[in-house]
Structures are given as C-alpha cells and as structure tokens.
Amino acid sequence: MRHKRIPKRKAVLAGAAALGMVATAVLLQQANASQSGSETGSGAAAKRLSAASATKLVKPLASQLGDSYAGAYYDEEKQQLVVNVVGDNNAVDVQVKRAGAVLRTVDNSSGELGSATKTLASRATIPGTAWATDPRTNQVVVTADRTVTGERWDKLEATVDSLGSGMARIQKSAGEFKPFAAGGDAIFGGGARCSLGFNVTTEDGSPGFLTAGHCGVAAESWSDAQDGAAIGTVQAATFPGDGDFALVTYDDPATEAPSTVNTGDGQTTEIVQAAEAAVGQEVSRMGSTTGLQSGAVTGLNATVNYPEGTVSGLIQTDVCAEPGDSGGSLFTADGSAIGLTSGGSGDCTAGGETFFQPVTTALEAVGAEIGAGGN
C-alpha cells in the first residue's frame, strides 16, 4: 500500500465509535521488563492525579527541565506522575516536586534515547520490527516479529548492541505485524472493512468522522453496510509515513454525528475531549469483532515497520485486537478520545499488542478540534 494524500478539509471532532480492519493478525507477546532507576522524594508529597491531569503536566515539565528530562509515566495504582531525570540538580528536584510529581533518577536522557531511535531508523528499518521508548525501564524497546530471522535478525541485533549497554533491548514476537481492517460500527469500502473511529464536524459545520489512514487509502467512498450505498467520502488520508489516519465527511450534511462511543449492549460513552496518552494509563478499545476490550498504554512515539511501509508517532498498548478493528476508538472512562486503531498482532483469547494513531496528532493534521472547540 502506498502513501496517498487526498486534499484536506479541516474538521472538528465530535466523537462516536467502532472498529474494523482488512488484514490478518497474530499474537505479539509482550515482555514485561523490570523497572530501572530509583524514585526519590516522598510518595506522600506527590499529588494524586487523574491520568488526564498527569498528561497535561508532562509537556510544561519537559520544557522546564530541559536536558535533565528523561521521560515520564503514569502510575495508575498510586495515581501519580513519575518523572525521569538525569544528573543531580537540586533545582530540577524542586521543579518536579512543586508540580506534584515523583522524581526518579535514571541513566539515559531523552536526547540519548531519541538518538537511539534515529539510529534504529537509519540502520534497522526492517519489515516486522517496531520500537518505542519505555520510560518505566528508561530504554528503547525493540520488538521483532516471527518473520525477522537469519541475516535480518543479525542486523537488528548488531544495531541494538551498537547503541550501548542499557540503552535498548530486543523482545521477540510470536506473530506478524500487520495493519488491521474489518468492525465497532463497521464501515465498508473498496472491498475493505474498517471502522468508524470518532465522529467529526468540519469547519463549515458538515459532519464527518476519523478512521485509519490505511482504510482511507484503500477506498475513497465508505458505506455503513456491506454492498450498501455510500455515506461518506475521504477528504484526507495518511499511510504509511507520519501516521495512520483519515478524515471522511458524510455525504448527507443532515447526518447526526453524536459525540459518543458505542460500547455494546445499548451502552455508550460520551466523548468530551481529545487527550494525549500517558504510559501506564488505562484505556479501552471498542470493536465489532471483539467487543469492548481494555488494557494500558505501554509506549509512546512508537515506530512500526509494516509490510506496507513504516509508520511513526504511534501509541503502543497491550490491548488485544483482531482483524476487523482498524480505525476504531481508543478512549478512557472519563470520555477522552485517545487513539485510532492502526495495527499490531494478537487475538483476544491469548492476548496481544496493538498500535494506535494519536487522536491529537490527527486533529492537528486536519485542522480539527473536539466538539464545539476548546481542545
């Protein structure tokens, strides 16, 4: 599948959910590495925060801490934001504690971890591999699926070794990385089955929705029934490359596009905002193939080397998914839209791992905002 861009029309997010996907998928085992580094400061001194509140602290803190900043994650059990820092700087200690976060001293800076991912991109962009920074272990976690063998495995292993001790680690997958496409509120186009992610309202007030980019490049018109009449037309699509998202506008401007996610059994979750993901955050995914599933965010700014091409800037999770889930909604219990299902490997019997397009990035790319604005 080649990267295709269709002229954009700006959009405003309004929300509604479902999933779908067109490829096969198999299990990706997740290795749960032990946490490195040490926390300093009293846990009692740190504020108890919601995941949404914690994510809002990360960007300003990262800017304030500069080169000392080395990532952050959300401790769901303690409801605390843990901030990694390098070096011994009392001023940094004060800044972190003043923000209500827990300070944790680590070895690898954000710059060093970023440099490691650039090296991987230049030397080891091999189909069947993926990598993301894990702030809990302060490493780049590299995953190789079952197709990475022989010379390709040797090349990957040599590249990881060249990064230096403690900078990155490799974990093996029993499955294959593929984009998903077939289920929540299913949509159909060009022989492909995908899912509506979140409803949108365009700048001129017309309704539309976000879905996966690999769905958007598969067909320009989409229906809500197999072999049914078209209900929407693709206005913008990105895949592969810097994301996996598409904007579709409804052909009937009178279409109702509620800001909700259909979670099954007549239940819905109201979507009130788009939000950044945080490692450790609990999230839910809805799809017609597997229903409502939950898990946690395990990595940010992930790069996945699909057979169709490389996609960067994704959210990595341990939420299971199966064929029929592409484009569908990743969201939180408090009504935050987090992501759109991209791909991965696994099933919901044995478990798996799935990658998602951040909603905030998709919104920015198409000039969108949630609801009536203010996001």
Distance CA 48, CA 268 (A): 28
Catalytic residue among 68, 109, 326, 329: 326
> What is the residue type of 27?
L
The residues that bridge with 103 in the sheet, in sequence order, are 40, 83
Q: Is 244 a catalytic residue?
A: yes
Instruction: State the catalytic residue, choosing from 145, 244, 318, 325.
Output: 244
> Given 109, 110, 195, 214, which residue is catalytic?
214
Q: How far apart are CA 177 and CA 357, in angstroms?
A: 15
Do residues 19 and 184 lie in contact, with contact meaning Cβ atoms separated by under 8 Å?
yes
Cα distances (Å, whole numbers) of residue 194 to 50, 66, 93, 213, 222: 32, 41, 47, 10, 9
Triad 57, 48, 105: Cα angle to 5°: 60
Q: How far apart are CA 306 and CA 181, in angstroms?
A: 14
Our CA angle for 3, 321, 363, nearest 5°, is 45
| HSE-up (13 A, CA, CB side) for residue 242 | 5
CA quadruple 220, 224, 226, 230: dihedral positive or negative? negative
CA distance 355 to 342: 6
- Tokens found for residue 296: 């946690």
**Closest by alpha carbon to 282, among 28, 24, 79, 44?**
79
Residue 375, both tokens: 């996001």
Is the Cβ–Cβ distance between 326 and 337 less than 8 Å? no
3 is catalytic: no
Residues marked as catalytic: 214, 244, 326
